[in-house]
Amino acid sequence: MDLIQFDVEGVDHPVGALFVRPAHASHILVFAHGAGAGMDHAFMKAAAEALAHRGIATLRYNFPFMETGRRFPDRAPRLVATVRAAVAQAARLAPTLSILAGGKSMGGRMTSLAQADSPLPGVRGLVFFGFPLHPPRKPGVERAHHLAGVAVPMLFLQGTRDGFAPQERLSSVLHPLGTASVRWLEGADHGFHVLKRSGRTDEEVLGEAAEGLCVWADGLID
């Protein structure tokens, strides 16, 4: 694992990133964190490890607000600019790998906003670890309107207990989109946690998500 930094247009300081490239990798996921935790969060680390075990490299990175220890996320234009800079950095680090981009919750949504606004160079598909369709108990679909402008394939890894995207509502939003695939993770919440009585562990759920991503990504190349 390599700790690196890269510059973001309009930001007066570099942001940090962690690059993991397993042997025989075919893909790299440019992996953005959510609103409440950075690239070092346990989920981000565990997801990167699960993907590495399946031959997928990752570049997980911080948004500027997280890099400087601020509590609240930057405005969307700065977040989108960071996504673009991260994708460019991944292309420099791993020019022979197929590029995927996405992230956890807010990080995935910002990646899709960037892609909808102007295609991210070299990106073959987008991956969402828990797409935040709306805040809990505040139903709406406005956050998904831009997805119709995403032309590349999209994979949604979603828990069936995710309060940010109830299964029926998210399914109705994605159904008209010919570019969207969903992998439902039974019993998982927005943080990919499962109840003890489910008989499964968080690690098993994350492994299922990583396996689904790997199969989907290989299908893009085929």
Q: Kindly give the pairing relationship between strand 15-20 and strand 56-61.
A: antiparallel
Per-residue pLDDT of the chain (222 residues; tens, 9 = 90+): 899 999 999 999 999 999 999 999 999 999 999 998 999 999 999 999 999 999 999 999 999 999 999 989 999 999 999 999 999 999 999 999 999 999 999 999 999 999 999 999 999 999 999 999 998 888 899 999 999 999 999 999 999 999 999 999 999 999 999 899 999 999 999 999 999 998 899 999 999 999 999 999 999 876
pTM assigned to the model: 0.95
Q: Which residues contact 187 (CB under 8 A, 6 or more apart)?
A: 159, 160, 161, 194, 195, 198, 200, 205
d(Cα 202, Cα 32) in Å, to the nearest integer? 20
HSE (CB half, 13 Å, CA atoms) of 116? Answer: 17
**CA-angle at 174, arms to 216 and 61, nearest 5°:** 55
